[in-house]
Amino acid sequence: MSTLHVNGREHTLTADPGTPILWALRDSLGLTGTKFGCGAALCGACTVHMDGQAIRSCVTPISAAAGKRVVTIEAVTSSNDRVGAAVHAAWVKHDVAQCGYCQSGQIMSATAFLKSLPKGKQPSAADIDAAMAGNICRCGTYARIRAAVAEAARAIA
C-alpha cells in the first residue's frame, strides 16, 4: 500500500512502492494525459510536477513522492493554475501540436520553467531552448513550442 497525492487529492494505491509514478497515474488512477515515451528519462513525454519541480515520472517511484504533491497535465491546464492556463492558451493559439503525443510533457516542462523564473524576467531564446531540451518531439513542432513558451512568458509577466 502506498499513498500518492495527485492534483490536490490523496490516493491510496495497492501498487508496489517501487512503481514509477507514471504507471500509478495511467494504470491505477486513469490519468492517461501523462504519456509513456521511453521509460528511461530520455524523452520527457511523462513529465509531471512534484512539489513544483518538473520530474520524469517514468523513473520516479511512488515512494519518492511520499509527502509531496504531484500535479499532472490534467490539473495544470484545467484548474486555476495561472501559468498553466497561459501555457495552454499559447499552445492552442500557436497550433503547436501535430500528433500531440509529446505535448503533455512539453507543456509540463514549459510550465515548470516559467514558474521557476524570477518575477518579471523574460526568458531569452537560449533560455527557452535549454529549458525544453529534455523533451523530444518527433513531429518537429519545436518552432511553435519556442513561440508558445515566449508568448506564455509575456502573458504572465
Residues that bind other proteins (CB under 8 A): 15-16, 19-20, 23, 26-28, 30-40, 42-43, 45, 72-74, 77-78, 88, 91-92, 95-104, 107, 128-130, 132-146
Please report how close the Cβ of residue 74 comes to other proteins at its closest, in angstroms.
5
Please report how close the Cβ of residue 67 comes to other proteins at its closest, in angstroms.
22
User: 102: which residues sit within 8 A by CB, 6+ positions away?
Assistant: 35, 37, 43, 44, 45, 135, 136, 137, 138, 139
Cα-only R_g, the chain = 15
**The C-alpha cell of 101 is what?**
503525443
State how far the alpha carbon of 61 is from the alpha carbons of 30, 69, 74, 114, in Å: 17, 14, 20, 25
Q: Which is nearer to other proteins, 40 or 119 (CB)?
A: 40
Please report how close the Cβ of residue 88 comes to other proteins at its closest, in angstroms.
5
Q: Which is nearer to other proteins, 89 or 117 (CB)?
A: 89
Q: Which is nearer to other proteins, 66 or 133 (CB)?
A: 133
